[in-house]
A and B are shown apart, each in its own frame.
Chain A
Amino acid sequence: MTSALAELPRPTDPDAPREIDAGLPLGDRVFHASARAVGFTVLGVFGSIGLFLGYQALPTLQRYGLSFFTENEWNPQLDRLGIAAVLVGTVEVALVAMVVAFPLALTTALYISEYAPRRLKSALISLVDLMAAIPSIVYGLWGFFLLQPQIIGLARWLHQNLGFIPLFHVDTDPDAAAWQQSSYTASAFIAGVVVSMMAIPLACSVMRGVFAQAPLGEREAAYALGATRWGMIRSVILPFGKGGIIGGTMLALGRSLGETIAVLLIISPSFDLKFSILDVGTITTASLIAGLFGEATASQLSALLAAGFVLFCLTLFVNTIAAMFVNRSRSGAATEI
């Protein structure tokens, strides 16, 4: 049988692949074109935000040059405009938010993925998602009316014990019998703590998602070698989830840099260039824009747009790095059946 087959004369090439017309039918070509059009519309909208802010910022940047970044006053009447104090305030608030949010988000993510009883797990995940869905103005109210009266005690304690560090210095006597409560309110510290409420769920859900992907075999191997739960977390979960921890934190940082309303509610605007986070008054880029756009003239509007452009670049930069870390630890494959 096989020999007979082998002896058959070979035709020129019977198995030559048939030419397949790869062209799409008309309907699909229309579908592809319209889907692409929608995709590029979306791209166009977001691209134009960046280009537009950049274009509008040009006159301001040309007029003030580098002094726009080194001047801390925002005084259009005297033609002195700059975002030094604004940038410092933005970074201070965001950093305070990160210092508060990072440990809390990490422990919450670890608790949900490793410690919580399995029955409660999905409910806890929902709660974290809910926390992310609560509007920032509600957190602002919470921070202003509930948190602020409580936390100025902590601010005073920090001043009392760590006041020699410029970061925690306030121009008042913390040990006075009737201490100046108002000197500790409306500060970058309190705004940062409130912003951390919005940063925590974001960071937590990214971290938890990565922890949940840690390979089961390695977890059980660690237990089989006699590791305690903490030993397993340290040797399997945390190394595996490093990308997610960094990426989630960066995402939360991007969110914190741009938070507007909660900060606007808490702080009292002040354009002093200061490095003490407990002292009353600060300003962030987003709250500057929300607070000043109303009475802005054309040239001031350009200055606000320039500040907005700086904020845009800052958040875009932070987010791109975050996305790199998160995507590296996430498989993008489609589900197969």
Chain B
Amino acid sequence: MSTLELERPIPSRPDVPRVLITGTTDSRLSVIGAGVGAAALVWIGYDLLLGLEGRLGLLVCWFAVLVVLYAAVSALGNPGIVVVDRVSSLAVAAGAAVVGIALASTIVYTLAKGFDAYSTLNFYTQDAAGIGPRDPLHKGGVLHALVGTAIEVGIATAIALPLGIGAAVYMTEVGGKGAKTVRNVVEAMTALPDVLAGLFIYVVLIISFGFPRSGFAAATALAIMMLPIIARSAELQLRIVPGGLREAGLALGASQWRVVRQVVLPTARSGLATALILGIARAVGETAPVLITSGASTFLNTDPFNDPMNSLPLYILFAVRSGQPNYIARGFGAAALLLVLVLLLFVITRFLARDRVGRR
């Protein structure tokens, strides 16, 4: 036995599931055949014989006939257990497809309906002051809402980020009985209805302390919505920092604070950034807290302490509820902008997460 072998133990690899044979020619051809057959039958039965209409119903009927045909075709040459397996595969795939279609239609529909509004330059450079319902789309824009969202989310982040990461450090690094309580409460608060955060700030800050309805009030409400998300995902990220790293730091004589500051937090940096962006993505889309604590405005306001400050989601709400075609188009334009913003934040999160996996 050579020393080399002793020094380098074979690294234990994580279990990798084997790739199963996912389908046979028989099963693939059966499902295609059943699909075509179902389409033909439904066309005759639904359209020509019963004279029903509606795309939704057509699709549902097609799927029902498809399941029956597929089961029948499979039963010709397979035992019952295989037939059940195939039909359930079809049902599972159909469920996933419905969710996929719903998601895709949401994104595509919003981007398409908003195109007329967000393809103009003035959409980004003008506010909505003095814009009437009949004004064409090449006048006025959402600059005030965009700036308002940026200011509100910026202030909310400045409040929620230190508190959230501090709470996460408390839960993972300090621990104790209190930490458990904090964890349970934070977990429960991730589902705090957004309207309640707004109502709380409205009554405390605006009614009790006489603070004006303003961007700052909205930002505090948004911070309450962000805080549990940041704290919870930051805690998860700190928890996966290997314990060995902490012990190595402590064994070198570093104090716990130094270990947290120079080992734990830098190791989890990209994970913490992910937590931050998740919080921002949540706050950007919140409507109800801004509706209650700030209210809508039509003009550009960069002062967070006075006067209402609009935000993108709130702008969308008022634009769409007005019922005017041009306003609705503007609302969809703003919705597309919001969607792109969230998509962008989301892509950054994925990028950071990938970076982390690559480094380990």
Using a CB–CB distance below 8 Å, which chain A residues touch chain B? 24-25, 27-28, 30-32, 34-36, 38-43, 45-47, 49, 52-53, 56, 103-108, 110-112, 114-118, 126-127, 129-131, 133-139, 141-142, 144-146, 150-151, 153-154, 157, 197, 200, 204, 216, 219-220, 223, 228-231, 233, 251, 254-255, 257-261, 264-265, 286, 289-290, 293, 301, 304-305, 308, 311-312, 315-316, 318-320, 323, 332, 334-337
Q: Which residues of B from 210 to 242 have beta carbons under 8 Å from A?
A: 224, 227-228, 231, 239-242
Residues A157 and B57 in contact, CB atoms below 8 Å apart: yes
> Given A138-B335, A304-B199, A305-B199, A258 and B193 touching (CB < 8 A)?
yes
Question: In the complex, which of the residues B22, B55, B182, B196 contacts A312, with contact meaning CB atoms closer than 8 Å?
Answer: B196
Residues in A neighbouring B102, C-beta threshold 8 A: 197, 200
Using a CB–CB distance below 8 Å, which chain B residues touch chain A? 15, 17-20, 22, 54-57, 81-82, 84-85, 88-89, 91-96, 98-100, 102-103, 105-107, 109-110, 113, 162-164, 166-167, 169-171, 173-174, 178-179, 181-182, 184-200, 202-204, 207, 224, 227-228, 231, 239-245, 255-258, 260, 278, 281-282, 284-288, 291-292, 313, 316-317, 320-321, 331-332, 335, 338-339, 342-343, 345-346, 350
Residues B85 and A135 in contact, CB atoms below 8 Å apart: no
Chief secondary structure at chain B's binding surface: helix
Residues A108 and B174 in contact, CB atoms below 8 Å apart: no
Determine how close the nearest CB of chain A comes to the CB of B293; give it in whole angstroms: 10
For B170, B240, B292, B313, the residue with the greatest tally of chain A CB atoms inside 10 Å of its CB is B170
Determine how close the nearest CB of chain A comes to the CB of B339; give it in whole angstroms: 6
For the complex, what is the distance from the CA of A321 to the CA of B55, rounded to whole Å? Answer: 40
Residues A258 and B191 in contact, CB atoms below 8 Å apart: yes
Question: In the complex, which of the residues B84, B110, B243 contacts A230, with contact meaning CB atoms closer than 8 Å?
Answer: B84
Residues A138 and B338 in contact, CB atoms below 8 Å apart: yes
Residues in A neighbouring B167, C-beta threshold 8 A: 38-39, 42
Residues B321 and A265 in contact, CB atoms below 8 Å apart: yes
Residues A141 and B173 in contact, CB atoms below 8 Å apart: no
Residues B56 and A153 in contact, CB atoms below 8 Å apart: yes
Residues in B neighbouring A264, C-beta threshold 8 A: 317
Residues A38 and B185 in contact, CB atoms below 8 Å apart: no
